[in-house]
Chain A
Amino acid sequence: MQITFLSFDGTSYTVDADEGMTAMEAAINNGIDGIEGDCGGNCNCATCHVFVDPKWSQQVGEASPMEEALLASRSDLAENSRLACQINLVPELDGLVLQMPESQFI
């Protein structure tokens, strides 16, 4: 399956991912800059923040209370905010588009 990550400057990266991975793992494994994942994908640090393309929000679903609490720490929180480590790549998400916030680029 394929996932597209959009950089804040509009650059687009489409990467191959395996079912069962998280969107964070797909980004890290493909060396995408802009997804940090300091805690290793443990839903602990909120450095893999992404904005879900509105077309995909339904399929991606809602954040858990733990994730929601971490997202609340982000100053760039938006309605379509999620943590990439909490998006499990199920087959229905083939083609998913995620935008990465500027703050995660050093």
Chain B
Amino acid sequence: MSDAGVVIVGAGLAGATVATGLAQAGYSGTITLIGEEAYAPYQRPPLSKGVINGEIGVDALLVKPESYYAQKQIQLIKGCRVQSIQAEECRVRLDDGEQLSYSSLVLSTGSRPRDLPIKGVGLKHVFSLRGIDDAQAIKDALPEKGRLVIIGAGYVGLELAASCVKQGLDVTVLERASRVMERSASPQVSEYYQSMHEAAGVKVVCNVNVSALQGEHQVMAVEAEDGLTWPADVVVIGIGAVANTELAQKAGLKCDDGIVIDDQCRSSHANIFAAGDCTRQIHALLQTSLRLESVQNATAQARMIVAQIMNKPAPRSEVPWFWSDQFDIRLQIAGIVRPDYTSMLRGDPSSGSFSVLHMMGDRLQALEAINSPMDFTLGKRLIGEQIPVNTDSIIDESIPLYPQPVMPKSG
């Protein structure tokens, strides 16, 4: 039987991990990796940190050196958009009209910054931050000691704020919600981060509904619904990301804020897989439907797809985890923080190192570790194993989070 090969649409971390994983596993068919950007696959997390600071150049971001793909017989097509998928014929059509056949298709189309539908977003010096070109443009636009207004206090916005205030810029962060990192972190952690940013000189304003960007050609100020304005030389909008599902939807694949995939990363079409930010999946351990935007999710789903295509044993499912570096504070989150969990503090925030534990009854469900790497590692294990724990001992810093003392059996 002839094998038409694997076509991978989207050359971010997920797509690159599928391609390199297949090559390493000895896949014998052709591997084609198609990306819209002009760059070989690269790491995005440093864009809001080292790249903005000028500490990291583009070459240092590459997942693999560009020559690696040719060496491994991976056909890397850059600067190319896939127009459509003919799922019945197992073919994709590229924007130049070329058609490629596949035996397996992988959609790793990623996500894009959410649009802010207000007046003035088309003005010069208004940006979002997703790719190398965005980071470069922001860097080039920022005048020395200039005024940067960031709309949105999520990870991207806060990491950017931390990087820029360190460079002596005048930084303001405007957030619609009542606290920073509202979507992903607990109130305790939000409060800690807000105070850290304020101590470093970032102006953080919550409960702001931005209504317009003012300026003739170039942005001059940000205006809120209540009439308040903030002068700005550069505005960066970071209000979350939207899954790129259009291609999948057009091909008739099931989508629901993300391409819906099963636990083997298969879409509703048997030989079409999907991985990374663009997917929605019932998490095997947490048994809840999630669309995760993280490095770990991208690589874990990619490795699952490699295992499926190569007919190898499936990798074990892992508790989702995330990280954020701001100033010299490292936040590591394991599990998904939900408001219905009971939260407990382990350690003293004023020491600069503590964790917030999130419990459902006597089981740990999620954990936020601030400069507490061992709590993160051991807590992640505890979440994965769902062992009942004693809530007194779990907050006792003198006892490692894992293994926890055995609970006496109650009558």
Query: Which residues of A are at the interface with B, using a C-beta cutoff of 8 A?
Result: 25, 28-31, 33, 36, 38-40, 42, 44-45, 47, 65-66, 68-70, 72-73, 105-106
Contact = CB atoms under 8 A, between A and B. Distances in A.
A39 B325 CA distance: 12
Nearest to B373: A69
A68 B68 CA distance: 31
20 contacts: A30-B65, A38-B13, A38-B295, A38-B299, A39-B295, A40-B45, A42-B45, A42-B325, A44-B295, A45-B295, A65-B374, A66-B373, A69-B373, A69-B377, A70-B377, A72-B374, A73-B377, A73-B380, A105-B24, A106-B307
A7 to B, nearest CB: 11
Interface string B275-315: 00000000000000000000110010001001100000000
B46 interface: yes
Contacts of A72: 374, 377-378
Interface in B37-54: 43, 45-46
Given A42-B45, A106-B306, A33 B24 contact: yes
A40 B61 CA distance: 7
Interface of B: 13, 17, 21, 24-25, 43, 45-46, 60-61, 63-65, 67-68, 71-72, 295-296, 299, 303, 306-307, 323, 325, 330, 332, 373-374, 376-378, 380-381
Contacts, number: 62
B43 A40 contact: yes
Nearest to A40: B43
Most B-side CB within 10 Å, residue of A31, A36, A44, A70: A44
A76 B47 CA distance: 32
A73 B381 contact: yes
Given A31-B68, A44-B332, A65-B373, 20 more contacts: A28-B64, A30-B65, A31-B64, A31-B67, A31-B72, A33-B24, A40-B46, A42-B45, A42-B46, A44-B323, A45-B296, A65-B374, A70-B377, A72-B378, A73-B377, A73-B380, A73-B381, A106-B24, A106-B25, A106-B306
Given A65-B374, A72-B374, A73-B380, A31 B45 contact: no
Contacts of A66: 330, 373
Contacts of A38: 13, 17, 295-296, 299
A33 B325 CA distance: 28
